[in-house]
Copies of this chain bind each other. A is one copy, B any other.
Amino acid sequence: MAVPGLERRFRERGLRRTPQRVAVWSDFAGHPGSTIREAAARLQRAGIGQATVYRAVRALEEAGLIVRFAAPHGEVRFAAVLDHAHLLVCERCGHVEPLQECGLHAYEAELARRSRFRVRGHTLIVYGLCPECQESP
């Protein structure tokens, strides 16, 4: 799977671009909102060990290539990202939809000025009910 910015992000972070790490990232990209457990089960069929999945998740998360978020029922789920992380999550069925823009850049700049933090990025998770789940009781 050729992902434009991915290779660069690996290099920038000094991460080796191994097939396993690409596979883990791709799995989350293809199944946004998976738990580590679910991803590991799928990847294990491709011969990737459990420990490797955990190690890759940690590396990718520190590199900002995936994000972790709280899904309904306190579950920890992940989704692949390339730049900012903006997700729309259904609280009922757990469906995750990546968002394109967030209109937060102005706010971020304002915040950096007021807080004296050096702002590097942000994660925005919007919770709600997806169209399907609005139907069923």
Contacts and interface: CB of A to CB of B under 8 A. Distances in A.
A83 interface: no
A97 B120 contact: no
A15 interface: no
A39 interface: no
Interface residues on A, range: 35 or more
A73 interface: yes
A103 B129 CA distance: 22
A123 B69 CA distance: 10
Contacts of A121: 126-128
Contact of A58 (B74, B112, B116, B131): B74
Nearest to A106: B103
A129 B124 contact: no
A61 interface: yes
7 contacts: A58-B73, A62-B73, A97-B115, A104-B107, A117-B130, A123-B123, A123-B125
Given A70-B123, A117-B130, A124-B125, 19 more contacts: A58-B73, A61-B70, A61-B74, A68-B76, A69-B69, A69-B123, A88-B115, A90-B117, A97-B117, A104-B107, A112-B128, A117-B128, A117-B129, A117-B131, A122-B125, A122-B126, A123-B123, A123-B124, A123-B127
